[in-house]
């Protein structure tokens, strides 16, 4: 578990360093994710402690949202003042994104099946 | 408060222990309620924990900065958690390869729709620039979304709230939208929910079926990557024209 946690932190650190040097507008941990993914593909296997630690952290992923979410108290007046654009944007855009993703994938999968047949 | 209790309060509120403990207790209380309510998406544990904590901090006159001194230890784990998303992605790699083209096209279409429609609708309704930039990554899982918002010049903590609203609303609406569109395949349903409603949508998809959950996790992880690249590019285009 300690080793696996170290692996995650080392990849995060590598991601942060690369982003800082390259000046990319991408969060460091995202590059860390990519690097770890590539590393796993190259290695061709996943060590059990890493799998367990990753699953353990991801199981409680929603807990990690809480401290930042409490930050709403700092933005109370903004959210209250712009509640209509915020609510409309979130609800309509989320519904659209679900519909578009599903429809496009459905069409693409059917086309692929058609070619195979 | 008696002088003694006041002294203890002053001591505790200056130490990170209180903010950290409050976060863990509030989340577990929220999760307990969520579980007791049969995992009703409206009673999302994160939402409940935030409501409890904001209420407690407001009532005790504690500032967010003081609270965050303790809560930052939990917040810090968002970085390693993002890196850890590589593990489920790797485990799903075989499925991913087989459906590579449909997944890629759906991902791109869904990701673009989520960013452009959110910012477009809020812009039409007169939202300010800080809100617009914070809305752009709203369909992405929080650790990535906050990083994107920061890079865009938005407000990461506002983004965290918007991401939460997105996840909850997506989890509530998904079933009705997908039924209405007559999409039966659980892989397709899950992937769409993961793209649009990230981790909260993924948790919801796992309640429906293993396959929907696996595809949702995939959609969540991939959309995090794609949005991290697309959102800054779109902003650059927007600023150029």
Q: What's the residue count for chain A? A: 117
CA distance B119 to B152: 13
CB contact under 8 A, B75 and A51: no
Query: What pLDDT is recorded for position B204?
Result: 77
Global model pTM greater than 0.90: no
ipTM of model: 0.85
Give the distance between the most distant pair of CA atoms in chain A. 58
Q: Are residues A82 and A98 in the same domain?
A: yes
Same domain, yes or no, for A1 and A55? yes
pLDDT digits (tens, 9 = 90+) for B197-210: 988 888 778 777 77
Q: What is the pLDDT of residue A107?
A: 94
Q: Which residue has the higher pLDDT, B143 or B30?
A: B30
Q: Return d(Cα B57, Cα A93) in angstroms, integer.
A: 32
Contact B152, B231 (CB under 8 A): yes
CB nearest to B157's CB, from A33, A74, A112: A74
Give the domain ranges of chain B.
Answer: 3-76, 85-240
Residue B150, pLDDT above cutoff 70 = yes
Say yes or no: A17 and A39 in one domain: yes
d(CA B39, CA B175): 15
The residues near B175 (Cβ < 8 Å, ≥ 6 apart) are none
Residue of A nearest to B27 (CA): A63
Are residue A110 and residue A95 in the same domain, yes or no? Answer: yes
Residue showing tokens 């609406």: B173
B146: which chain A residues are within 8 Å (Cβ-Cβ)?
27, 68
CA atoms within 13 A on the CB side of B55: 7
Q: Which domain holds residue A109?
A: 66-117
The verdict on A29 and A6 lying in the same domain is yes
Q: At residue B9, does pLDDT exceed 80?
A: no
Q: Classify residue A87 by burial, with Cβ atoms within 10 Å: 0-12, 13-18, 19+.
A: middle
* A residues 28-67 lying closer than 8 A (beta carbon) to B: 28-30, 32-34, 36-37, 40-41, 46, 50-51, 53-55, 57-58, 61-67
Phi, psi at residue B38, to the nearest 5°? Answer: 65, 35
Taking alpha carbons only, the member of B217, B173, B171, B170 closest to residue B191 is B217
Give yes or no: residues A55 and A71 share one domain. Answer: no
CB B42 within 8 A of CB B168: yes
Are residue A35 and residue A7 in the same domain, yes or no?
yes
Interatomic CA distance for residues B64 and B241, integer angstroms: 38
What tens-digit pLDDT sequence spans chain A (117 residues)?
789 999 999 999 999 999 899 977 677 888 898 899 999 999 998 889 999 998 888 777 778 878 888 887 888 888 888 899 999 999 999 999 999 999 999 999 888 775 554
Number of structural domains in chain A: 2
Asked if residue A71 and residue A18 are part of one domain, the reply reads no
* Contact call for residues B183 and B189 (beta carbons, < 8 A): yes
Question: What are the Cα distances from residue B170, in Å, to A23, B145, B178, B215?
Answer: 34, 16, 11, 16
> Is the domain of A45 the same as that of A23?
yes
Q: What is the DSSP letter of B14?
A: T
Q: A50 and A71 in one domain?
A: no
Of B191, B194, B138, B145, give the one whose Cα is nearest residue B166: B138
- From B43, B209, B19, B84, select the one nearest A71 (Cα to Cα): B19
Q: How confident is the prediction for chain B on average, in pLDDT?
A: 88
Residues A51 and A86 in one domain: no
Predicted pLDDT of residue A28: 86
């Amino acid at each position: 578990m300690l080793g696996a946690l170290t692996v995650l932190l080392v990849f995060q650190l590598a991601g942060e360093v690369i982003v800082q040097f390259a000046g990319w507008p991408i969060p460091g941990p995202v590059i860390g994710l990519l690097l770890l993914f590539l590393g796993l593909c190259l290695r061709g296997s996943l060590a059990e402690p890493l799998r367990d630690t990753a699953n353990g952290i991801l199981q409680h992923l929603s807990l990690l949202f809480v401290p930042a979410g409490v930050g709403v108290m700092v933005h109370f007046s903004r959210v209250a003042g712009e509640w209509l654009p915020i609510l409309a944007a979130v609800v309509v855009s989320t519904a659209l994104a679900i519909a578009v993703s599903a429809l496009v994938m459905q069409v693409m999968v059917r086309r692929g099946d058609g070619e195979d047949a | 408060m008696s002088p003694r209790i006041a002294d203890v309060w002053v001591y505790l509120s200056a130490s990170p222990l209180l903010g950290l403990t409050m976060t863990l207790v509030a989340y577990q209380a929220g999760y307990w309620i969520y579980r007791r309510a049969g995992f009703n998406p409206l009673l999302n544990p994160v939402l409940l924990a935030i409501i409890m904590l904001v209420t407690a901090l407001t009532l005790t006159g504690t500032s967010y900065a003081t609270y965050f001194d303790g809560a930052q230890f939990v917040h810090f784990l968002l970085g390693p958690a993002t890196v850890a998303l590589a593990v489920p992605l790797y485990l799903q790699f075989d499925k991913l390869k087989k459906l590579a083209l449909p997944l890629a096209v759906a991902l791109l279409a869904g990701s673009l729709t989520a960013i452009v429609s959110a910012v477009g609708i809020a812009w039409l309704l007169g939202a300010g620039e800080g809100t617009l930039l914070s809305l752009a990554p709203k369909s992405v899982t929080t650790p990535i979304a906050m990083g994107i918002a920061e890079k865009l010049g938005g407000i990461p903590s506002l983004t965290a709230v918007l991401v939460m609203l997105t996840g909850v609303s997506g989890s509530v609406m998904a079933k009705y939208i997908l039924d209405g569109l007559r999409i039966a395949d659980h892989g397709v349903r899950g992937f769409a929910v993961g793209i649009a409603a990230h981790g909260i949508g993924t948790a919801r998809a796992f309640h429906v079926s293993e396959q929907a959950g696996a595809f949702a996790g995939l959609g969540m992880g991939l959309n995090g990557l794609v949005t991290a690249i697309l959102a800054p590019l779109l902003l650059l285009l927007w600023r150029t024209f």
